[in-house]
Amino acid sequence: RRLGVLDLITGETELTGELTVIPTPGHTPGSMSMVVNSGGEKAFIMGDVFHGPAQVTETDWVFHYDMDPDKAGETRRAMLDRAELENAAIAICHHSGFGRVIKESGRRYWQAL
């Protein structure tokens, strides 16, 4: 950092017109996810916010590596709200491919693309 080659990012930061990083705390301190905008479509690369599709429905299910379980659940709910609002596809760590969040009877579910 003293050499001017490292910028530490702490908040939502646009890196390019197509790539933004956003804080997604709870799993580990400093955890970040990416928002990709391209060709009029948007996708969230969630990293370890979710550990599998079941957590889309059950956001309070805790993975034993979540360092701050309450914050992890809060982050999961906030990211699902944002994905829904922005009509974004999502990629979940430890699960292949992209999907979308769908609502059925007031509950959210993962739907693979």
pLDDT digits (tens, 9 = 90+) for 38-61: 999 999 999 899 988 999 999 999
What is the CATH topology of the domain spanning 13-112?
Metallo-beta-lactamase; Chain A (3.60.15)
| Residue carrying the six token digits 């360092």 | 67
Q: Is the pLDDT of residue 94 over 90?
A: no
C-alpha 5 chain-centroid distance: 27
Rounded to whole angstroms, how far apart are CA atoms 71 and 92? 18
- From the list 70, 94, 82, 77, the residue with the least C-alpha distance to 44 is 82
Q: What is the pTM of this model?
A: 0.89
Query: At 76, which amino acid appears?
Result: R
Residue 1 reports pLDDT greater than 70: no
Give percent above pLDDT 90 in the chain: 74
Q: Which of 41, 21, 38 is nearest to 87 (CA)?
A: 41
Q: What is the mean pLDDT of the chain?
A: 92
